[in-house]
């Protein structure tokens, strides 16, 4: 299904039959990424007396109960309610269906850029320096969404235990730069935009949503962060339309399925 879209003053063509899924499928009871050591996502047949929801065990149908923690068990999208006292939900925050976005690949590095708490010598960081090099000259109309792939881009991101193998995160300088560009939807292939063990500061989260001491900012309610994506090498850096799909969860975060559509000039 091909269509013509207008972004700013320019027209583009897009083929909506060729979406690119950059989520990590949540394989209940199978391989999956994990962080903070939470329980793995799992499923069990529902059982009540003589009834069992498993056709392999004599049940009339498959009828399962699922258990998972969206923030820790795979691709998920979160809203400002993740860090504020006010219980804002992702369903009311995400109100866009097609988001002009840029995908870039960045190699994290050791840096002297700022972070709270103080950086450790072994920390690998997504820096402002690297982002500036990648985003120089980019059409700002496509920076509503920023999709960031870290290098090297190993398939083990789909099943990594991030408490055993710590992940990269954003420096304060990098996140302030992202905010200055007007990015409203940030997607990353790490489990968090902050260091996992950061003494509760959540520095990059707070900068992105422009919050202070867990105080709700109504001007940034619509902004989202999506973590634990996976963009394979076949997905090239460049401009896309992003369809950020979530279930109708009234919660600060929900499992998500970001779909990219390549666009071309008319």
| Cα separation of the two ends of the chain | 16
pLDDT for residue 222 is more than 80: yes
CB-based contact 83:71 (threshold 8 Å): no
Q: Is 3.30.230.10 the CATH classification of the domain at 2-23+75-265?
A: no
pLDDT in tens, 169-185: 999 999 999 999 999 99
Q: What is the predicted pLDDT for the residue at 215?
A: 87
The pair of three-digit structure tokens given for residue 225, joined into one six-digit string: 């962060």
Structural domain spans, the chain: 2-23+75-265
pLDDT in tens, 119-149: 999 999 999 999 999 999 999 999 999 999 9
Contacts of residue 13, Cβ cutoff 8 Å, sequence gap at least 6: 2, 3, 4, 5, 263, 264, 265, 266
Report how far residue 70's alpha carbon sits from residue 41's, in angstroms, rounded to the nearest whole number: 9
CB-based contact 257:22 (threshold 8 Å): no
Burial class (CB in 10 A: 0-12, 13-18, 19+), 21: middle
pLDDT for residue 48 is more than 80: yes
CA separation (Å) from 77 to 61, 71, 187, 224, 256? 32, 8, 8, 7, 6
**Structure confidence at residue 26 as a pLDDT band (50, 70, 90):** very high
**Structure confidence at residue 266 as a pLDDT band (50, 70, 90):** low
Q: What is the predicted pLDDT for the residue at 214?
A: 81
Q: What is the predicted pLDDT for the residue at 212?
A: 85
Read off the pLDDT of each residue in 67-86 and give the average, rounded to a whole number: 97
The pair of three-digit structure tokens given for residue 28, joined into one six-digit string: 């209940």
**Structure confidence at residue 40 as a pLDDT band (50, 70, 90):** very high
CB-based contact 226:244 (threshold 8 Å): yes
**Structure confidence at residue 213 as a pLDDT band (50, 70, 90):** confident
Say what percent of the chain tops pLDDT 70: 100
Nearest to 224 by CA among 244, 238, 198: 244
């Amino acid at each position: 299904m091909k269509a013509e879209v207008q972004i700013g003053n320019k027209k583009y063509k897009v083929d909506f039959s060729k979406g690119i899924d950059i989520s990590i499928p949540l394989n209940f009871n199978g391989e999956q990424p994990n962080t903070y050591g939470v329980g793995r996502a799992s499923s069990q047949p529902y059982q009540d007396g003589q009834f069992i929801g498993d056709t392999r065990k004599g049940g009339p149908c498959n009828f399962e109960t699922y258990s998972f923690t969206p923030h820790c068990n795979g691709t998920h999208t979160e809203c400002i309610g993740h860090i504020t006292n006010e219980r804002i939900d992702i369903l009311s925050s995400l109100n866009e269906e097609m988001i002009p976005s840029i995908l870039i690949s960045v190699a994290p590095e050791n840096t002297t850029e700022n972070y709270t708490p103080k950086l450790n010598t072994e920390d690998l960081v997504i820096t402002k320096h690297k982002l500036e090099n990648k985003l120089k000259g980019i059409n700002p109309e496509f920076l509503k969404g920023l999709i960031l792939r870290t290098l090297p881009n190993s398939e083990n991101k789909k099943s990594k235990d991030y408490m055993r193998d710590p992940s990269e995160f954003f420096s304060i300088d990098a996140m302030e730069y992202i905010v200055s560009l007007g990015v409203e939807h940030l997607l990353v292939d790490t489990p968090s935009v902050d260091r996992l063990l950061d003494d509760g500061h959540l520095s990059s989260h707070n900068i992105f949503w422009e919050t202070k001491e867990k105080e709700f900012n109504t001007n940034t309610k619509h902004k989202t962060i999506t973590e634990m994506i996976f963009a394979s090498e076949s997905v090239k850096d460049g401009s896309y339309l992003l369809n950020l799909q979530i279930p109708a969860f009234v919660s600060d975060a929900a499992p998500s399925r970001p779909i990219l559509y390549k666009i071309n000039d008319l």
